Structure 1
Amino acid sequence: MMKKALYFGLGALSITRDHAEKFFAEMVEKGEISRDEAKNFVDEAIKRGEEEKGELRKTIRQEFEEMKNTFSYVSKSDFEALEKRIRDLEEKIGTGNQGE
């Protein structure tokens, strides 16, 4: 149970190895776990955190792709190209940016 709680906490917070090592060093000092257990927890927690981070990135990418396919959108580069075309046309017809 403790192991699962630690994995969840460490993975959810996406802590660094340094933070995990400090946390487990305190537990070793208090005699709550051995050095070997602490090292194993740190290694497994970091590994699991990286796996969870990868899964989260994958899920976010999938959701983003689904949103792109569901909704109409204009990319920033397309929008900027349209703005430039409008400016060019305004210059040609002599209206410029009089509305601003």
Structure 2
Amino acid sequence: MSEMSEMLRKMGLFGIGVISLTQEKAEEFTQEMIKKGEMSREEGKKFVRDVLSEQDKQLKDIENKINQTIRESLEKSGVAMREDLEAFEKKRVEVLEKNAEMRTNLDRLEKRLEILEKNTVMRVDVDVLEKRIKELEQIKQPMTE
């Protein structure tokens, strides 16, 4: 088990122990106060709920601090975080989509170029034919006269 895992395990066990201890002590204290007549049962129940609620808030605060410490440690170590991987994946998908779009545009341009080349060849052929017809007409004209 890694040092980090062991530390987290111990912290979890400590938290569970604190919760159990606090709940037991709060209930014992409440029972004593009820026996002495210094607190009603309803007040005792409310007191225990308040103690446990406050304890829950403190444990959440500790959990947040532990998570922040772990996050900072991971950032310092250079380990990629889930958010980093998700951002990378999103960027990769964007690049692939852009690449596909560029490939489609390139295919369209190649088809247009092919059509233009055919039209250019045809125009040259027409020009050559027209020139040849004129030459033939010029040759024919003196023959008919």
Question: What is the TM-score of this pair, normalised by structure 2?
Answer: 0.36
Higher relative contact order (CA 8 A, sep 6+): 1
Question: What is the TM-score of this pair, normalised by structure 1?
Answer: 0.49
Rg larger in structure: 2
